[in-house]
Amino acid sequence: MANRPLSPHLQIWKWGPHMAVSILHRITGDGLALVGLGVLLWWLGAMAAGEAAYATFAGIMGSPVGMIVLVGLSWAFFTHMMSGLRHFVLDIGAGYELDTNKTWSILSPVIAIILTALFWAVIVLK
């Protein structure tokens, strides 16, 4: 076996908000792809199937469990969007300073929660 240096292991790295936001970006992307696609296909199928099928869909999505799913999807969307914007800025070569990176890593999910609350406030108060 070659005598070469090993890569740093997870025990060496110190966890920070930038790591959590990066992992959350992947989780919300998967959630949007799986749950969001399922809800979208169900909605389209219900619209195509007729009035009774759409009433069933609307009834379930209007229930407390359905609302939790919809709010969760919108939160996942805004979280993924804010994290994606953060990654975009990093991809163009900006924001790598430690303080800047940490600040935007903390602000990304906070802004996503605010956007989700504003989004649902507009829908509910409309």
Binding region: 80
**Known binding-site residue numbers for heme:** 80
Q: Give helix then strand counts, H and E, for the chain.
A: 5, 0
Instruction: Select from 115, 103, 112 the least CA-distant residue to 83.
Output: 112
Please list, in sequence order, all residues whose beta carbon lies within 8 angstroms of the beta carbon of residue 2, skipping any fewer than 6 positions away: none
Tracing tokens 């602000």 back to the chain, one arrives at 107
Report the C-alpha gap between 51 and 11 in whole angstroms.
56
Instruction: Select from 75, 80, 70 the least CA-distant residue to 29.
Output: 80
What's the farthest any 2 CA atoms get from each other in the chain? 70
